[in-house]
Amino acid sequence: MAARLVRRCCWQHFTPFISPPSAFPASLLVPTGKIIMTRALPPTPLALFHTSSPLSWADGFSIKEQVEEGGNPEHKVMGQLIETAVSPQELFQLSQLHALNSNQASLIITQLSRLAMENKLETEKILQDERFQHLISIVDSQISQVWNNTLVNLFKSLCSLGMDSNRKEMQSVEQEVLWRLRRLTFRQLASLAEFLAIRQGKESKLLNEVIKKLELRWTELEGTRTVVMLMGKVGHISPALMDRLEDKALELAEQFNPDDIRKITLALAYQNRRCVPLLRALSYHLLQKHSELSLNILMDLIFAYGKLNFHQPQVFQKIATDLHPHLPSMTPVEVTRCARSFALLKWLSLPLFEAVAQYTLDNTKQLSVTHLCGIILSFARLNFQPSGSEDFFNMPLPTNTPRSFIHLGSSNPSWTDYAGCWMSSQTPLWALGCVSTSAPLLPPGNQSIKAQNLRLKLIHINAAAKLETPEYQGPFLPLEMLSTMEPAGEKVTLLQSTLREALAGLLGSRDNGRFDVHTIYGWHIGECVLLSS
């Protein structure tokens, strides 16, 4: 509207000075005695005072490209031939039979890249082909005449084909894209940013420039698809852009479908961005407008809510209710992931977790040790006891389970948590038996933090077996593993040192008490005093 107003003012201001040829006689325009020569004048005076609109600034040459493409029949036919080609040989034949301009050569290269990806062709042979080299030389010689959209697709195609970034032609295309960033539409910038974020990462100079343009022109952002794509693929690179995208997503929250909501919540979860207003809006519209959700959406939503520690009981109830019928057909990985997510949220759905317990009993042979650990840990965090706890805690396990536990002990200490959680109810004796057989996996010389943490967990389980499980008679950890040890990297805090000084003064001497005691049971006692013998 502003551009129209400026154009109208210019036209009204300059109209008195610009008159049509008939306004003045030709004899008055030349000196006496001179021959009058007719000259062709511009078709319209307004062309001399043309002012571009903001839309044309954003689109660059997009309108011109559309006019040229649709107005030339030969170009249209050539474009159709390129688009319908089904093999690289057909495209190379076109390059030999026709005199191509830079746009047509770029379209052929783009189609070559698409065919190579679809048919999984060897890109090295395409790059080394002489006919491909001829196409590249045509593009390089007329790079400034390549249309904007074609140029963006050309750059992405050359990267997909694996052309060396140090090659002169490749650098020429990349530099041309860099120069034309201001002329590209927002959608072209977003597409380019997505491609660069996946292909080159944060170190790309071109990507950084594209993101700067996106940050400056974020008000041009329209459509849910672009918002979702940028949040998922580019937002983690630029926090400033992600802030703008969150605002735009909040504005468009009502228009998102369930899959869009899934992608946005996952993007927030992976970036640890707990945007409460956006999460509340998405949750509201999810409950109000979408009654049926697929299994993948349900799983990803509860995972994202759990990772962000965002509580929305109505959404949790809907997810738990919708997940229940899917449970028998779910894989062990999906069941474990579901249980862990609800455990992180400290939200217990009794029907769902009863079904998880029954699933565990029905699929014992399909569950790996890692899956079993995850399910039991989830039960422990929620303080959940299955209704058939006797059957659950005594379910038959494969004969090689202890060996699997031993194998996990060297790389993943989760099995010790598994045994520890089971001790709080009905300790399976074979799980305790795995403790002693794990000792050879932890040689005394291994002083890494990971090894010390695993050793400490083993000592805790061993202590619980001795002190809290009288029916268990062994085996136990060897005595050499029970020697007191100080955890690696432990530092005395200011509060601890001050408290010790105060206690020493109260007792009269440090010899009247014991400080910083590491017991053979794996528990650390800060200060202890014998009050009466």
Nearest 5 degrees, angle CA 248-CA 252-CA 257?
A: 130
DSSP-based helix, strand, coil % in the chain, nearest 5: 70, 0, 30
Neighbours of 229 (CB within 10 A): 19
pLDDT, position 397? 60
pLDDT range class, residue 406, cuts 50, 70, 90: very low
Task: Indicate the pTM of the whole model.
Answer: 0.68
Q: Mean per-residue pLDDT for 161-188?
A: 91
How far apart are the two ends of the chain, measured CA to CA in Å?
94
Average pLDDT, the chain: 77
Percentage of the chain surpassing pLDDT 70? 74
Report the distance separating Cα 113 and Cα 154, nearest Å: 9
pLDDT at 339 over 80: yes
Q: Number of C-alpha atoms within 13 angstroms, CB side, residue 504?
A: 13
pLDDT at 152 over 80: yes
Burial letters for 495-513: b for 16+ Cβ neighbours within 10 Å, e otherwise?
A: eeeeebeebbeeeeeeeeb
pLDDT at 427 over 50: no
Block residue for tokens 């080159």? 200
Backbone angles phi and psi of 415, in degrees to 5:
-65, -25
Centroid of chain to Cα 225: 15
Report the distance separating Cα 407 and Cα 395, nearest Å: 21
pLDDT range class, residue 508, cuts 50, 70, 90: confident
pLDDT, position 177? 93
Q: Mean per-residue pLDDT for 211-221?
A: 91
pLDDT, position 1? 47
Paired tokens of 42: 């511009």
pLDDT tens by residue, 243-266: 999 999 999 999 999 999 999 999
pLDDT, position 213? 93
Report the distance separating Cα 145 and Cα 147, nearest Å: 6
pLDDT, position 63? 46
pLDDT at 117 over 80: yes
pLDDT range class, residue 435, cuts 50, 70, 90: low
pLDDT, position 16? 44
- What value does the CA radius of gyration of the chain take, rounded to a whole number of Å? 36
Burial class of 253 by CB neighbour count within 10 A (0 to 12, 13 to 18, 19+): buried
Highest mean pLDDT among 192-201, 226-235, 376-385: 226-235
Amino acid (1-letter code) at residue 358 = Q
pLDDT range class, residue 57, cuts 50, 70, 90: very low
Residue of higher predicted confidence among 27 and 460: 460
pLDDT, position 226? 92
Of 8, 41, 47, 6, nearest in space to 22 by CA: 41
pLDDT, position 76? 77
pLDDT, position 525? 79
Highest mean pLDDT among 92-106, 341-355, 414-428: 341-355
Q: Mean per-residue pLDDT for 444-453?
A: 69
pLDDT range class, residue 401, cuts 50, 70, 90: low
Nearest 5 degrees, angle CA 317-CA 323-CA 328?
A: 145
Q: Mean per-residue pLDDT for 290-309?
A: 92
Residue of higher predicted confidence among 531 and 209: 209
H/E element, 182: none
Answer for the pair 380, 349: CB distance below 8 angstroms, yes or no: no
pLDDT, position 432? 54
